[in-house]
Amino acid sequence: MATNVALAAAERRRRLRAAMAGLGVDALLVTEGDNRRYLSGFTGSSGWLLIAAGQCLLLTDFRYLTQGAEEAPGVEVVNHGREHELPRCLAERVAALGVKRLGFESHALSHRVHGILDKAMPGTLVPVENVVEGLRQVKDAGEVALMRRAAEIADKAWRQMCRRLKAGMTERDAAIELEFIMRREGAEAAAFELIVATGPRGALPHARPTVRPFKRGDLVVFDFGARVDGYNSDTTRTVVIGEPTAEQRAMYQAVLDAQAAALELIRAGASGGDVDAAARQSLTQAGLGEKFGHGLGHGIGLAVHEMPYMKPGEQLLLEPGMVFTVEPGVYVPGWGGIRVEDMAHVTEAGYELLTSSPRELLAI
């Protein structure tokens, strides 16, 4: 497994160096944590990655020297000393490599640290943005396999959870129970803080669980995911406590229809904006367009939210290997909300869903 990770990281660095050639930089400083892991395999919480034409250095501290050597073979692990010594250590290495123009992740470096580096560096700092994220949006087979496994764990946990749901259970207890089941089934962690929103609180797309109990007649929105070896899944299902009303059934079907309309367009060459528009148009025809206020979906991988994005006006074209969520929803203040979310993997032939939990409205 370690060998596979090292080979994958080496190939990613090769692709990055090819991309760097068009950026006018001699080396790239990677400070964003997920990008660092993607390019090296190092899972520690502290360290900078310096990638030049023929070398890759991981600058970290005493706590991570052994871990870095184990997790990132092929990368030179450098002890930068104490935190305040990191800029000096980086400057020395940059000078030794003859780097004149050092790219840095402008979205992941604070103004304060940039000022310190600007004074310490022997050459010129060049801001770049989303160069590694652009590579990450197309997953290799190993990455897709990990996300498929994460989705399988979440699906299995959801099936068990459905048998335990009942009136009187609180949002917080349900979230704790679902996370526990996912961990027991093999997840290293929940992918994010689970969302459980019942009744009118379902109108909050990112509601945090409270002690509000499930009441008969309530819609309950569950947004959950598992993490496996750093890679995440993301699923949303909406259930009803008791017998659903005609209005609840109709609105739920409208959300399902919107998701189906979007899925029908997913293929290599389609744009994220077109996929989003298909769902939005479907909900508009159902008279619910104004109740859908967020983008249709987001890429997922090492981060729960990453490129590519399915949103209005997005021109990025889909490619085989991209994995993203398809999650239309309607939100009515004072009434509640409905969202259905699945993970789509773009293939040469179209797409596959990595999530498999039933999407029919479940009455508890």
Give yes or no: residues 132 and 164 share one domain: no
- Is the CB of residue 74 less than 8 Å from the CB of residue 9? yes
What is the gyration radius of the CA atoms in the chain, in angstroms? 23
Q: Please report the pLDDT score of residue 76 as a whole number.
A: 96
Residue 363 in 3-state DSSP? strand
* pLDDT bucket at 63, cuts 50 / 70 / 90: very high
What gap in Å lies between CA 339 and CA 221, rounded to an integer? 7
Strand order in the sheet with 297-299: 306-310, 297-299, 323-326, 342-346, 351-353
What gap in Å lies between CA 9 and CA 171, rounded to an integer? 40
DSSP assignment of 114-134, as one string? Answer: HHHHHHH-SSEEEEE-SHHHH
Residue where a domain terminates, one of 87, 121, 136: 136
* pLDDT bucket at 121, cuts 50 / 70 / 90: confident
| DSSP secondary structure code for residue 268 in this structure | T
Positions of E strands within the chain: 27-30, 48-52, 56-60, 76-79, 101-105, 124-128, 189-190, 195-198, 219-224, 226-228, 231-232, 235-240, 297-299, 306-310, 323-326, 329-332, 336-339, 342-346, 351-353, 362-363
Residue where a domain terminates, one of 88, 105, 136: 136
Q: Please report the pLDDT score of residue 266 as a whole number.
A: 98
Whether the per-residue pLDDT at 106 is higher than 70: the answer is yes
* pLDDT bucket at 54, cuts 50 / 70 / 90: confident
What gap in Å lies between CA 198 and CA 184, rounded to an integer? 25
- pTM for the whole thing? 0.95
Give yes or no: residues 42 and 155 share one domain: no
Whether the per-residue pLDDT at 322 is higher than 90: the answer is yes
Give yes or no: residues 188 and 299 share one domain: yes
Q: Please report the pLDDT score of residue 4 as a whole number.
A: 83
Q: What is the pLDDT of residues 171-200, one digit of tens each?
A: 999 999 999 999 999 999 999 999 999 999
Q: What is the pLDDT of residues 210-241, one digit of tens each?
A: 999 999 999 999 999 999 999 999 999 999 99
Residue 149 in 3-state DSSP? helix
Give yes or no: residues 191 and 167 share one domain: yes
Report which of 7, 1, 298, 358 is spatially closest to residue 162, judged by C-alpha positions.
358
- Is the CB of residue 278 less than 8 Å from the CB of residue 263? no
Peptide bond into 308 cis (omega under 30): yes
* pLDDT bucket at 352, cuts 50 / 70 / 90: very high
The domain tally of the chain equals 2
Q: Which domain holds residue 148?
A: 141-363
Give yes or no: residues 290 and 316 share one domain: yes
Q: Please report the pLDDT score of residue 1 as a whole number.
A: 55
Give yes or no: residues 313 and 183 share one domain: yes
Give yes or no: residues 89 and 196 share one domain: no
Separation of CA 32 from chain center: 14
* pLDDT bucket at 2, cuts 50 / 70 / 90: low
Looking at every residue in the chain, the average pLDDT score rounds to 96
* pLDDT bucket at 292, cuts 50 / 70 / 90: very high
- Is the CB of residue 235 less than 8 Å from the CB of residue 326? no
Q: Please report the pLDDT score of residue 150 as a whole number.
A: 98
**Long-range residue pairs from 242-248, CB within 8 A, at least 24 positions apart, any chain:** 242/167, 242/216, 242/217, 242/363, 242/364, 243/363, 244/361, 244/363, 245/217, 248/219, 248/338, 248/361
Reported residue count of the chain is 364
Percentage of the chain modeled with pLDDT above 90: 95
Give yes or no: residues 177 and 100 share one domain: no
Report which of 204, 348, 345 is spatially closest to residue 268, judged by C-alpha positions.
348
What backbone phi and psi angles, to 5 degrees, belong to 72? -130, 60
* pLDDT bucket at 138, cuts 50 / 70 / 90: very high
- Amino acid at residue number 341: E
Give yes or no: residues 209 and 272 share one domain: yes
Place of tokens 């203040």: 333
Q: Please report the pLDDT score of residue 105 as a whole number.
A: 96
Q: What is the pLDDT of residues 153-163, one digit of tens each?
A: 999 999 999 99
What gap in Å lies between CA 68 and CA 232, rounded to an integer? 23
Residue where a domain terminates, one of 80, 103, 136: 136
Backbone region of residue 230 per phi and psi (left: phi > 0; alpha: psi in -120 to 50; beta: other values): left
Whole-Å CA distances, 337 to 50, 66, 84, 93, 147: 46, 49, 49, 54, 27
The stretch 13-37 carries a mean pLDDT of 95
- Is the CB of residue 328 less than 8 Å from the CB of residue 283? yes
Q: Residue 87 maps to which CATH number? A: 3.40.350.10
The stretch 307-317 carries a mean pLDDT of 97
Give yes or no: residues 96 and 205 share one domain: no
Give yes or no: residues 268 and 127 share one domain: no
| DSSP secondary structure code for residue 270 in this structure | -
Give yes or no: residues 100 and 152 share one domain: no
